[in-house]
Amino acid sequence: MAERAVVTRTGGDDVVLEVRDLAKSYPVRRGVLLKRTVGEVQAVDGVSLTLRRGRTLGLVGESGSGKSTLARVLVGIEKPTRGQVLVGGQDVSTMSRAERRHLRRTVQMVFQDPYTSLNPRMSVGEIVGEPFRIHPDAVPARGRRAAVAELLELVGLDPDHANRYPHQFSGGQRQRIGVARALAVKPDVLVCDEPVSALDVSVQGQVINLLEDLQDELGLSYLFIAHDLAVVQHIADEVAVMYLGRVVEQGDDAAVYDDARHPYTRALLSAVPVPDPTARDLPGEIVLEGDPPSPADPPSGCRFHTRCWLARQIAQQSLAGPGAGTEAGGAAEGDGPVVPERCRTQDPVLVRLGAPALVGAAGGPDVPHTVACHFATVPVVPQEPPDLREPVDRSAPADRQEPADRQDPADRQDPADRQDPADRQDPADESVRS
């Protein structure tokens, strides 16, 4: 850890990859012969992210929220409909051919689907060595065989299997072939789309440890997309949460995991399955009501309002109790859930919360904690919704932890540092605890 901190600190400030207000939409076509465009799916709609050298940005979010689309645009497989991708400070759209070729080497991708992203007619050795053919200067021809063997070994595969074909491997083995291929030309940036989802926890741990070692040694930067929030927590320095094409919350990992402010992030964290069968029937998951909206027809105002538990709570309180609802504004009944007027009509932008900490939790550069919610800091009179639970210590089986250690307040960075004490009272936190 000490070593890592040093690397992060020295290389911490240079931005290797940046996206500004990125959007990508796909046409929706109808008709059998003559396809007419009848609308568009806004897969990604105005995302800005910054990735620094030697750091890992975790990207989590709802299935279908645009994570893979964003990744494909980042590595240049698809063109954005709006916005910019900057690599090393240079706009990708203005690059020359040669520059773009170089770019394809510096930014590599591990694809989400380990089955279809590997050419079934190529042997595994050819697949992993393919980047050498595209970028011949990466490794001299004589050294390539050995390089391929080394890469396979690195990801925990048997180098003797280089002459086998993808269908002869299991799901998790194929996933690691994808990781080996992406590492072949020693990229600066690795965009990993669910790189470990098909791996058992032990092999997954090996791949993550490998990625972290490479980061320490070579200063690699990762954009790490995953649904496993524990894995993201482990590997990421910063986390961005996506919902329906947008980033709704972003910050260093401590801020997002311990002080989540967006109601979607909170629901996500509450739904992480606990590896403890005795915790099965404890209440606590925030169940999102309603169906996920379509990116072809996003809801008005805040895109989350059709499913937001916080908005419903605020609206209920403003209807019920005097004084409580001034901030909420007139909650009106229409079709759909009762939510504050603002949630239905105004699109919240990402705003920075409170005062920043001087040094980020991981010792890296300061990362602001930003949230896109009108009520991110508004205190709410605690109420007891039926589907919110007591905080449960959801850690692993009893024999593995020292509760005394975990509670030690001295160990933690004080969240009060990060924001104004006046804002401290946390609406959702209160309701979860009460």
Ligand X SMILES: Nc1ncnc2c1ncn2[C@@H]1O[C@H](COP(=O)(O)OP(=O)(O)OP(=O)(O)O)[C@@H](O)[C@H]1O
> What single-letter amino acid sits at 312?
R
Sign for the pseudo-dihedral over CA of 212, 216, 220, 221: positive
- Is 335 one of the binding residues for another protein (CB under 8 A)? no
168 interacts with ligand X by CB under 6 A: yes
DSSP labels for 381-410?
-----TT--------S-GGG--HHHHH-GG
Residues 128-157 that bind another protein (CB under 8 A): 156
- Single out the residue of 120, 140, 171, 330 in contact with Mg ion (rule: CB under 5 A): 171
Q: Which is nearer to ligand X, 23 or 43 (CB)?
A: 43
Tokens found for residue 33: 């012969």
Q: Which is nearer to ligand SF4, 220 or 314 (CB)?
A: 314
Residue 308 binds which entry of Mg ion, ligand X, ligand SF4, none, CB below 5-8 Å type-dependent:
ligand SF4
Closer to ligand SF4 by Cβ: residue 286 or 339: 339
- Which has the closest alpha carbon to 234: 244, 222, 246? 222
Tell me which of 13, 21, 91, 200 binds another protein, using CB under 8 A: 200
* Binder of another protein out of 81, 84, 106, 233 (CB under 8 A): 233
| Six-digit token string for 31 | 């008709």
Which residue is associated with the tokens 């210590």? 393
90-129 residues in contact with ligand X (CB under 6 A) are 112
What is the C-alpha separation between 167 and 156, in angstroms, rounded?
18
**Contact at 8 Å (CB) between 275 and 281?**
no
**Residue 46 dihedral angles phi and psi, to the nearest 5°:** 85, 60
97 interacts with, out of Mg ion, another protein, ligand SF4, none, CB within 5 to 8 A per kind: none
Helices (runs of H) and strands (runs of E) counted in the chain: 14, 12
| Site for ligand X contains 68 (CB under 6 A) | yes
Q: And the tokens for 244?
A: 């329906």
Q: Which is nearer to another protein, 89 or 283 (CB)?
A: 283
What is the amino acid identity at position 276?
D
Q: Is 262 in the site for ligand X (CB under 6 A)?
A: no
Binding-residue pattern over the window 192 to 221 for ligand X, x denoting contact by CB under 6 A? ------x-----------------------
Please report how close the Cβ of residue 402 comes to another protein at its closest, in angstroms: 8
Applying CB under 5 A, the residues found at the interface with Mg ion are 68, 112, 170-171
